[in-house]
Amino acid sequence: MEFGKWDPEEISLETVQQIVFMGIQQQLRHPLTQISGIHIIHDFTNTRFVHLKHCTLRNMFLLNHISFEVLPIKFAGFHLVNGSYLFNLLLTLSKPFLPEYFNKI
């Protein structure tokens, strides 16, 4: 997913979340995905401050809760590329709230 191409003024965060989770649910219907797991790659090229304002504690908690505790997903890999300094700071602050197995991926 390339967050830099998302225009928050044109498409709301809720709509983006719905699209992403619908895509994940479609992938979960495939038997090979259920066995092998999924790789998630987030590309943060060209992200701006307008994107960062959506990284509230509530939104990050909901993303964490739905991804790791609600959906029956096996994560084979989780990759974050081209993150800015502020993004890396947010990721470091959120690591204590992530499940144990997330650090093993």
- Domain 3-100 sits in which CATH superfamily? CRAL-TRIO lipid binding domain (3.40.525.10)
Rounded to whole angstroms, the Cα distance separating 50 from 53 reads 6
Q: Note the pLDDT tens digit of each residue in 55-87.
A: 787 887 887 788 777 888 888 887 888 877 777
The angle formed by the CA atoms of residues 95, 6 and 38, to the nearest 5 degrees, is 50
What residue spans define the domains of the chain? Answer: 3-100
Instruction: Note whether 76 and 40 are within 8 A (CB).
Output: no
pLDDT at 48 over 80: no
Termini Cα distance of the chain: 19
Q: Note the pLDDT tens digit of each residue in 1-46.
A: 677 788 888 888 888 888 888 988 888 898 888 888 888 888 888 8
Q: What is the pTM of this model?
A: 0.66
**pLDDT number for residue 102:** 67
| Structure tokens given for 100 | 């144990």
